[in-house]
A and B are shown apart, each in its own frame.
Chain A
Amino acid sequence: MSDHASASSADAGVQEDLACTLLSKHFGDFTAVDGVSFSIPRGSFFSILGPSGCGKTTLLRMLAGFQQPDSGDILIKGQSVLNTPPNKRPVNMVFQHLALFPTMSVAENIAYGLKRKGVPKREHATLIDEVLAKVHLPGYGDKRIDQLSGGQKQRVAIARCLVLNPAVLLLDEPLGALDLKLREQMKIELKRLQREFNTTFVYITHDQSEALVMSDQVAVMNKGQFEQVGTPQELYYQPKTAFVAGFVGDSNQYAGKVQSQSGDAVTIVTEQGVRLLSHANQPLLAGAPVTLFVRPEVMQISTSRPATEQDNCLAVTVSRVLFDGAQSRVQVETAEGAELTVALPQTADFQALEPGRSVHVSWQASQCLCFVAPADTKPLGTQ
């Protein structure tokens, strides 16, 4: 596709397809997007992950041009698009409910953007066939939209955008409406399409698994701000804020107070009075309120006291077993009444585990994290 080639050679100097600086948007008193800055390297899969109401949809709609930011700038291939109306921006969007045109066939849907761009009619058929082949729907051009399955509709919605060779493809939680199995397939499929077209994808979702599986970079968004931007691994293993630690992956969370600190290791007493050792990123004052995060899978479960010395080792009672195949967990309780959820390895050792049994759980201090309790979590992001 000649169009694509010329576009990329024209601004070869710019490394980012999309960049935003201090973007803000208010609705009355409510701040939807609060001074967000980021830049996305060419050809990468970038996800914005956040709970509903965090401002991610507003951010995406500003990128598409359906909403004007109150301040800040949006640069696409190095050029500000603030004064470009949505129909002239080199970005395309896959809508949450896809917004395929039901009055048109698949081919007409795909041709819609080509017509608006003024691509000569004789080229349409070839372009449509090409893009349909790439999304694995060859020969579907004449189908009506209501004849397609959910997954096929997804592909058409993506094809309709990609045929235009956008600088950036925006995706607004397009997998939300699919059932679980299909969603798993589409995650892999989307990643494949992104590699194949080598287009920058900006994907917003509240589903952490979608973001982690597909993305090169993930931004975790909360209350209109980016809490952390990083690779999926960084977010999972080195969360920089309590919010990220809590939102990405499952964690046992405990509120507690700092008792003492030596180097990286802090001793914390939880509200229930359990003494735990944790890793900390920063100096903490004794007595400071903190939240402690322990992932279920870092905890070792054993029927007897572990032979090697562990930083944290608790004698607990099993309160219930949550069997879920490879994701099985067990909920246990300490003598003080603190509850923990622990990953349950599906090995023969633990098959007989039942409520009321006494077991030990242990983990190293370096495998858990603590953050100063919510009221002043902000400065942590910049340490």
Chain B
Amino acid sequence: MIPSIPSSRFFRVSYLSYVTLFFIFLITPLVVVAAFSFNDALFPSLPWNGFTWDWYLGKGDPRLGLFHDNALLDSIGVSVQVAIVTTMASLALATCNAFLFEREQFPGKNFLYVLMLMPLVIPGVILGVSILVFSSTVANWFEVQFGIEIEALRPGLVLVTLGQFAFLTTIATLVISARLRKFDITQEEAAMNLGASRLTAIATVTLPFLKPALFGAGVVAFLMSFENFNTTLMLVGSDAPLTIAMFDRLREGSTPVLNAVSVLLMVGSACLALVSLFVQRPAKP
């Protein structure tokens, strides 16, 4: 089992092979997706016809490359916008929630905490449709009562953002609360003792302490928003975020341009991962 306990050679070898197989299973689909974005063929399948950059740089049909495919580029833009707004909003609320749950005592706190966790156990599709149903109800009511049509409450990017915000906040709250729990509250008292007001103390001592968690939660929220499919699918209007646009194309029959987009996503995520590793490592002098 653990290294300090002797085990047979057979056991160790088979254990190692199992773990190796697992990682092959994990990596293969991604490698395949990436490889076929360079295949000189109209479909992402065998045989291998040689290397090409066409699916990135191709200028026209039938080989419209990613960087000239305006529909795809637009959808990336939409996804980025939604992800930025969602991340900012969920971080702000999550920080408030963390302070509420870690610092305040009030009746019904446990109940509220359980309620706060609910979005994690509601399937994304259902979260999406419930928000769709409710916003339509509200929009219809406004229409009937006042004759106002509120466009924001009809399927579209506002609802997509709200839907993603609804569950990303829970995740961000858990990450930030965990960090705030480790904070030694006497540091805030020390700051006040040295002349800081309560808000200054939080801004100069507590928030810097939370920074790694804020950053980590931000990266996770951004990625999850960018990748979200289930909730988005139910709330999307005419502007499709990237995942929806890719899904539509996949059903129509795929060309390797989708592989190219996938590679772009992998590179983007990898960069984000590297940056977050870099930021979260304690600074060396």
Using a CB–CB cutoff of 8 Å, the interface residues on chain A facing chain B are: 64, 66, 85-88, 91-93, 95-97, 99-104, 112-113, 116-117, 142, 144, 160-161, 164
CA distance in complex: A277, B197 (Å): 61
- Nearest-CB residue, chain A, relative to B211: A103
Smallest CB gap from B194: residue in A:
A113
Q: Is B208 part of the contact surface with A, judged by Cβ < 8 Å? A: yes
B193 within 8 A of partner (CB): yes
Q: In the complex, how many angstroms separate the beta carbon of A174 from the nearest chain B beta carbon?
A: 12
Residue among B186, B194, B196, B204 with most chain A CB within 10 A: B194
- Residues 187 to 206 of chain B near chain A (Cβ within 8 Å): 187, 189-198, 200-201, 204-205
- Given A85-B197, A92-B193, A113-B194, 16 further pairs, Cβ under 8 A: A64-B189, A66-B189, A86-B193, A87-B192, A87-B194, A87-B195, A92-B194, A93-B193, A99-B189, A101-B208, A103-B205, A112-B194, A116-B196, A117-B195, A160-B194, A164-B194
Which residues of chain A are within 8 angstroms of B198 by Cβ–Cβ distance? 87
Nearest-neighbour CB distance to chain A for B35, whole angstroms, equals 45
Check if A99 sits within 8 Å of B195, measured CB to CB: no
Instruction: Find chain B residues with CB under 8 A from A101 CB.
Output: 187, 190-191, 205, 208
Contact in complex: A103, B285 (CB < 8 Å)? no
Given known A-B contacts A101-B205, A142-B285, A144-B285, A113 and B189 have beta carbons under 8 A apart: no
- Which residue of B184, B196, B204 is within 8 Å of A99 (Cβ)? B184
A92 CB contacts on chain B under 8 angstroms = 193-194
Q: Which residues of B contact A116 (CB under 8 A)?
A: 194-196, 200
Closest chain B residue to A113 by CB distance? B194
CB distance from B77 to the nearest CB of A (A): 36
Cα-based distance from A103 to B208 in the complex (angstroms) = 7
State the CA gap A88–B197 with chains docked (Å): 9
Residues from chain A with Cβ under 8 Å of B194 in the complex: 87, 92, 112-113, 116, 160-161, 164
Cβ–Cβ contact A103 & B195, under 8 A = no
B186 proximity list for chain A (CB < 8 A): 95-97, 99
Residues on B with C-beta less than 8 A from A142 are 285
Cα distance A86–B192 when bound, in Å? Answer: 6
Q: Contact between A95 and B189 (Cβ–Cβ < 8 Å)?
A: yes
Q: Flag whether B209 is at the interface (Cβ < 8 A).
A: yes
Chain A residues within an 8 Å CB radius of B190:
93, 95, 99-101
- Nearest opposing residue in chain A for B201, CB measure: A87
Number of residues on chain B facing chain A (CB within 8 A): 21
| B184 close to A113 (CB less than 8 A) | no
Contacts of A99 in B (CB 8 A): 184, 186-187, 189-190
Q: Are A112 and B204 in contact (CB under 8 A)?
A: yes
Specify which of A92, A101, A142 lies most central, judged by the most chain B CB atoms within 10 Å of its CB: A101
Report the Cα distance A88→B190, complex, angstroms. 13
Q: Which of B59-86 contact A (CB under 8 A)?
A: none
| Chain A residues whose CB sits within 8 angstroms of the CB of B197 once the complex forms | 85, 87
Q: Which residues of B contact A95 (CB under 8 A)?
A: 186, 189-190
21 A-B residue contacts at CB 8 Å?
A: A66-B189, A85-B192, A86-B193, A87-B197, A93-B189, A93-B193, A99-B184, A100-B190, A101-B187, A101-B190, A103-B209, A103-B211, A104-B208, A112-B191, A112-B194, A116-B194, A116-B200, A117-B195, A161-B193, A161-B194, A164-B194
Q: CA–CA, A95 to B193, complex, Å?
A: 10
* Separation of A218 and B209 alpha carbons in the complex (Å): 38
Bound form: Cα–Cα A212–B208 in Å: 40
Q: A205 to chain B: closest CB distance in Å?
A: 17
Query: In the complex, what residues of A have CB within 8 A of residue B187's CB?
Result: 99-101
Smallest Cβ distance from B216 to chain A, in angstroms? 16
CA distance A66 to B185 in the complex (A): 12
Which of B198, B204, B209 has its CB near the most chain A CB atoms (within 10 A)? Answer: B204
Whole-angstrom distance between the alpha carbons of A271 and B189 in the complex? Answer: 51
Contact indicator B184/A97 (Cβ below 8 Å): yes
Instruction: Give every chain A residue within 8 A of B195 (Cβ-Cβ).
Output: 87-88, 113, 116-117, 164
Q: From B204, which residue of chain A is reached at the shortest CB distance?
A: A112
Q: Closest Cβ of chain A: how far from B172's Cβ, in Å?
A: 21
A240 to chain B, nearest CB (A): 34
A189 CA / B191 CA spacing, docked (Å): 25
Measured between C-beta atoms, what is the minimum distance from B188 to chain A in Å?
Answer: 8
Q: Mark B13-48, 1 if CB is under 8 A from A, else 0.
A: 000000000000000000000000000000000000
The docked-state distance in angstroms from the alpha carbon of A93 to that of B193 is: 7
Q: Which residues of A contact B204 (CB under 8 A)?
A: 112
> Which residue of B193, B196, B205 contacts A64 across the interface (Cβ within 8 Å)?
B193
Interchain nearest-CB distance for B96 vs A (Å): 21
